């Protein structure tokens, strides 16, 4: 899952704990979901508890999604030459699939949710490493979360995957291969996203009971 999905999953897990969207723990869980992309290694004890839980929730979501049969099916839909990159590409594509059916997942509009999320992350910005702060400023300036409704942001996200893995020679093949797969990938999304949401809710509930 990518930034939009992690934000929604964190909010849903917080709602299961009876926290409203403006509760400090909701804000920090969502911010932790963002921080999880920039923090490697052990979660520092110096982080506020809910922010650290947000990072761990991010990691739990990633670990669970990587083993889900419907995501494996999505990966196998890609041409053989792209299958090693497919899980990372699917993370980006999932945000687009979520955005285009957003009204089925949240009572706020996508724009409203995006700007609420930016505010939640801003409240914990001081805990972000420099690279995370720079990306956060870029994300807000380009309204990244809302932009997943269009295809250009998704294409840009997939190019960032190939750039990170130094496989830019695959960009053109990805650009040609992915659009015809979207309908089938959306069918898989309808299967795996509810399961991931339940897993996130159950994990946070268990984490809170044990703390």
DSSP 86-144: HHHHHHHHHHHHHHHTGGGT-SS-HHHHHHHHHHHHHTTGGGS-HHHHHHHHHHHHTTH
Query: Structural domain of residue 23, as residue ranges?
Result: 3-210
Average pLDDT over residues 169-183: 97
Per-residue pLDDT, 21: 82
Per-residue pLDDT, 22: 85
Q: Are 132 and 55 in contact (CB under 8 A)?
A: no
Q: What is the DSSP letter of 180?
A: G
Distances in whole angstroms, Cα of residue 75 to Cα of each of 66, 82, 83, 188 = 10, 9, 6, 10
Q: Give CA torsion, residues 123, 118, 201, 72, to 10 deg.
A: -130
Per-residue pLDDT, 208: 83
Per-residue pLDDT, 1: 79
The Cβ of residue 179 has, within 10 Å, a number of other Cβ atoms equal to 12
Per-residue pLDDT, 184: 98
User: For residue 28, how far is the Cα from the chain centroid?
Assistant: 15
Residues 131 and 109: their CA atoms lie apart, in Å, by 29
Percent of the chain whose predicted confidence (pLDDT) is above 70: 100
Sign of CA dihedral 2, 206, 104, 30: negative
User: For residue 130, how far is the Cα from the chain centroid?
Assistant: 20
Residues 201 and 38: their CA atoms lie apart, in Å, by 23
Q: Pick the residue with more confidence: 69 or 22?
A: 69
Residues 38 and 107: their CA atoms lie apart, in Å, by 29
Please determine, for residue 83, whether its predicted confidence score (pLDDT) is greater than 90. yes
Per-residue pLDDT, 114: 98
Average pLDDT over residues 56-71: 96
Q: How confident is the model at residue 186 (pLDDT cuts 50, 70, 90)?
A: very high
- Number of separate domains in the chain: 1
Q: How confident is the model at residue 101 (pLDDT cuts 50, 70, 90)?
A: very high
């Amino acid at each position: 899952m990518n930034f939009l999905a992690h934000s929604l999953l964190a909010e849903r897990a917080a709602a299961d704990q009876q926290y409203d969207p403006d509760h400090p723990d909701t804000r920090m869980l969502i911010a932790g979901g963002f921080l999880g992309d920039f923090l490697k290694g052990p979660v520092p004890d110096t982080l506020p508890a809910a922010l650290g839980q947000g990072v761990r929730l991010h990691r739990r979501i990633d670990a669970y999604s990587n083993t889900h049969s419907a995501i494996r099916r999505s990966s196998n839909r890609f041409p053989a030459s792209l299958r090693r990159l497919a899980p990372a590409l699917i993370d980006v594509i999932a945000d687009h699939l979520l955005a285009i059916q957003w009204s089925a997942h949240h009572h706020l509009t996508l724009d409203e949710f995006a700007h609420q999320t930016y505010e939640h992350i801003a409240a914990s910005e001081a805990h972000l490493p420099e690279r995370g702060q720079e990306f956060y400023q870029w994300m807000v300036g380009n309204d990244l979360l809302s932009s997943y409704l269009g295809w250009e942001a998704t294409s840009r996200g997939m190019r960032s995957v190939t750039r990170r893995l130094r496989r830019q020679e695959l960009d053109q093949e990805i650009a040609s291969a992915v659009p015809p797969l979207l309908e089938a990938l959306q069918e898989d999304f309808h299967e795996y996203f509810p399961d991931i949401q339940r897993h996130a809710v159950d994990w946070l509930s268990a984490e809170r009971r044990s703390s």
